[in-house]
Structure 1
Amino acid sequence: MKIEKGLRSWLAAALVLLGTVLLVGAGCSAAQVAERPADPAALDMAARNFHKNMRWARWEEASQQVHEAAREGFLGRYEELGDDYRVVELALRKVEFSEDGFEATLEVEQEWYELPDTTVRQERFVERWVSEKGVWWMRERITREAFRAREREERDAPGTADPTRDEAPSLDERTPEASPSDEGLPTEPQE
């Protein structure tokens, strides 16, 4: 009887320990899944879909890859450009991931024209993509020149160690070369 009671106590303690280990293990693995960034291959697919839709002027479809905080501005920008704006080619030139893997910066070369002028222009854009809940979203798209100017400003600003953007990012920043007369109708794409 004493052996049976001791065995039962030992078995109960072992089950409690096993249950605790399983619960903690399940909680940790769930936390790891929730905190894991999306697969880089998924970024490649999302960026390809976005660029393909941009190439064929399917702005609504392209906006499905744009983060909800920036989607309205993105669509408004292409409504403003109208049917005269045409993307000829988009080519991915560079991809850099953040240390934690939740952000990626893409450099894209874009060729475009705006009717009635059929001169094809070429410009480099920097796109910032973020991974949220395993899905990649394009959060910001600006010219490389505007991106570099902002980096210089942030680097040179006194007292800024690690600047962050709390507001919804602009998809419509003008290049430094834009003249005041170009205010109403930009001469180059400003996503």
Structure 2
Amino acid sequence: MKRLSALMVALFLGGACAHTPPKSDMEALRPVVEGFHKNLRWRNYRAVSTFLVPEERQDFDRKRRELHDDRDLTVTDFEIEDVKLAEDGRHATVHSRIQWMRLPSVTEQTDTVTSEFVFRDGAWLLEKQLSGPFAGELEPREKPSP
């Protein structure tokens, strides 16, 4: 009888875990933020694109091709300075310092970049980014007026 009770408890707890929604906390956010920056540093723009909200991916990929970023954009260093999770647990703001240059310029730029991540469909995705090598690209689109 004890074995049956233990088995029932294990099955119940295991079933409960299977239906627990994915975490939208710092534990899940940190590897996404680090992965985005590392792939950016190594010019892996296809991987960088997967960190973006789906509606931005096609334009992002097109812009990388147009600007020849695989050849002309170099991120020489980055440092994640601050990560703040919003009270709702579904939005986060990340401040990072990115050093970069885009040919034909040979001047290295250092920007403090603000990135806004959103927890959507069980994953953290980059929704908006101000400053840095993608300035003006990753900004929310204006919604049409009714």
Q: TM-score, normalised by structure 1?
A: 0.55
Going from structure 1 to structure 2, the CA distance change for 1:170 and 1:115 (only over 3 Å counts) comes to: closer
The whole-number CA distance in structure 1 between the counterparts of 2:27 and 2:45 is: 23
The whole-number CA distance in structure 2 between the counterparts of 1:65 and 1:172 is: 15
Match of 2:138 among 168, 171, 185: 171
Match of 2:26 among 23, 32, 40: 40
Q: Aligned partner of 1:171: which letter?
A: L
1:139 aligned residue: 127
Q: Deviations over 1:64-123 (max 9, x none)?
A: 111101112222232232121111112111112111110001111110112233221111
The whole-number CA distance in structure 1 between the counterparts of 2:25 and 2:44 is: 25
Q: Aligned partner of 1:113: which letter?
A: M
Q: TM-score, normalised by structure 2?
A: 0.71
What is the alpha-carbon root mean square deviation over aligned residues?
2.8
Deviation larger for 51-60 or 111-120: 111-120
Task: Give the helix-richer structure, 1 or 2.
Answer: 1
Q: Aligned partner of 1:44: which letter?
A: R
1:129 matches 2:117? yes
The whole-number CA distance in structure 2 between the counterparts of 1:71 and 1:44 is: 21
The whole-number CA distance in structure 2 between the counterparts of 1:54 and 1:65 is: 11
The whole-number CA distance in structure 2 between the counterparts of 1:124 and 1:44 is: 18
Task: Give the strand-richer structure, 1 or 2.
Answer: 2
Asked whether the 8 Å contact 1:73–1:171 carries over to 2, the reply is: no
Asked whether the 8 Å contact 2:77–2:99 carries over to 1, the reply is: yes
2:52 aligned residue: 66
Asked whether the 8 Å contact 1:38–1:132 carries over to 2, the reply is: no
1:118 matches 2:118? no
The whole-number CA distance in structure 1 between the counterparts of 2:93 and 2:105 is: 31
Q: Which protein is bigger by CA-based radius of gyration?
A: 1
Asked whether the 8 Å contact 1:39–1:134 carries over to 2, the reply is: no
Size of the aligned set, in residue pairs, is 121
The whole-number CA distance in structure 2 between the counterparts of 1:113 and 1:37 is: 36
The whole-number CA distance in structure 2 between the counterparts of 1:170 and 1:117 is: 20
Structure 1: runs of 5 or more not aligned = 1-25, 148-168, 174-191
The whole-number CA distance in structure 2 between the counterparts of 1:124 and 1:170 is: 16
**Percent of aligned positions that are identical:** 26
The whole-number CA distance in structure 2 between the counterparts of 1:126 and 1:135 is: 19
The whole-number CA distance in structure 1 between the counterparts of 2:63 and 2:79 is: 21
